[in-house]
Structure 1
Amino acid sequence: MKKELKTLEEIRIYSDPYRIQILNEFISFNRPATVKEVADALHEVPAKVYYHAKKLESIGMLELVDTKLVNGITAKYYEPYKGQVIIRKSEVDDTIKQVFQSEAEKLVSNFYDENKKRFLQNYSGSMSKGNLFNNSSIYLTEQEAEQLFSMINEFCEQHGHLSPGEGRVRYEMFFTLFHNPDIKSK
């Protein structure tokens, strides 16, 4: 599954650091969850989370999947988008390309910062027990790079729906793959 963000407004909605936290919290439930559940987990007021959840829903990053009547109140259950998110600068009007670029950079920076923070919070001082990282250069054709990225996304989709148990625990992963034209092949 791929979701393309094509407008400046979509990128601004998606790149907000607080909304990234909300999405991550929805993901952590590993099931459809209510805004109230997410607000409680974030120690926030439900109205504040609801406002941002509606913005995320407007761009397809959250989807209403179920409603239940609980003590006379309709509980709405949302599920986060679990596929690949693509930002296409080439499809943007030339008059806003610079602003679009700036917003895309802010989005990437926010993702790096959030994942760095979560890694360091859980880092135990050793590389055992799931605290793994890798920083490598590899040489691929464009097709091989797309194949690798697709393979990792498929693996994440297959394992993202599983529940803890039977030796299975939750791992966080943040993965980037990019062509660096500044470094020449030897």
Structure 2
Amino acid sequence: MDPYRLDILETFYKQNKPLTVKLVADALGETPAKVHYHVKKLEKNGILVLVFTKEINGILAKYYEPTAENFVMRNRDKKLDSQMNMYLRNNIESVLDKEFNETKNLFIKSLRECPEGERFEGHFASERVYLTQEEVKEINEFLHRFSRVDETLKEDKNRKEYQFLYTILEILDGIDDQEDE
């Protein structure tokens, strides 16, 4: 849940192909040494996997890719000490803040840059709904099919680029009461 490691993962998803540490570092404008440290942590935790190696100018290049198309952030360990719990919460908040702000800024930029007299189309909705766990799973699976980047689709002239962001979270009992206090 480290925000920098999520940036690394996002680079893999945007490129949609196996990458070396050097390629990721170049994409992020970082040094390979910094990226290497985090890639090794992601590999150790089973989030990235080494898929092949290739010798380039006498150097063995290692190509990695994510082990899953998406990851769920969840804290199921109720025994975490308060310091670790606070660390996890802060990282989750940081990731959410980054993603929501980037999407909000894209939405506002698109709205402002839409030529006068042109049609602007953007959709935003925020609703509270009552769902079963099965319905939540079904919605997630449906939306996930659209959230994977397929670079070959960019060439299709009938397709336009869209920003896609969604959240589904369980509203815990008493959460509204806490917000009002």
Give me the TM-score of the superposition, normalised by structure 1. 0.73
Match of 2:74 in 1: 87
Match of 1:48 in 2: 34
CA RMSD of aligned residues (A): 2.8
AA matched with 1:137: R
AA matched with 1:160: V
1:109 positional shift: 0.9
Distance in 2, Cα, partners of 1:44 & 1:29? 17
The alpha-carbon distance between structure 1 residues 155 and 36, as it changes in their structure 2 partners (threshold 3 A), is same
The alpha-carbon distance between structure 1 residues 102 and 131, as it changes in their structure 2 partners (threshold 3 A), is farther
The alpha-carbon distance between structure 1 residues 19 and 84, as it changes in their structure 2 partners (threshold 3 A), is closer
Match of 2:179 in 1: none
The alpha-carbon distance between structure 1 residues 98 and 48, as it changes in their structure 2 partners (threshold 3 A), is same
AA matched with 2:138: Q
Distance in 1, Cα, partners of 2:56 & 2:74? 39
- Is it true that 1:166 corresponds to 2:150 in the alignment? no
Match of 2:143 in 1: 152
Match of 1:60 in 2: 46
- Identity of counterpart residues, as a percentage? 33
- Is it true that 1:179 corresponds to 2:170 in the alignment? yes
Contact 1:34 1:75 in 2 (8 A): yes
Unaligned stretches of 5+ residues in structure 2: 177-181
Match of 1:23 in 2: 9
Contact 1:84 1:153 in 2 (8 A): no
- Is it true that 1:133 corresponds to 2:124 in the alignment? yes
Match of 1:8 in 2: none
Contact 2:103 2:165 in 1 (8 A): no
**What SS does structure 1 have at the residue aligned with 2:72?**
strand
1:125 positional shift: 4.1
Unaligned stretches of 5+ residues in structure 1: 1-14
- Is it true that 1:110 corresponds to 2:94 in the alignment? yes
Match of 1:33 in 2: 19
Distance in 1, Cα, partners of 2:60 & 2:136? 46
Contact 1:67 1:76 in 2 (8 A): yes
Give me the TM-score of the superposition, normalised by structure 2. 0.75
The residue correspondences of 1:64-79 to structure 2 (distance < 5 A) are 64-79=50-65
The alpha-carbon distance between structure 1 residues 169 and 72, as it changes in their structure 2 partners (threshold 3 A), is farther
Larger Rg: 2
Aligned residues: 165
Contact 2:14 2:149 in 1 (8 A): no
The alpha-carbon distance between structure 1 residues 135 and 28, as it changes in their structure 2 partners (threshold 3 A), is same
1:97 positional shift: 5.4
1:134 positional shift: 2.5
Q: Which moved more, 1:170-179 or 1:144-153?
A: 170-179
1:153 positional shift: 2.6
1:105 positional shift: 1.9
Distance in 2, Cα, partners of 1:129 & 1:21? 30
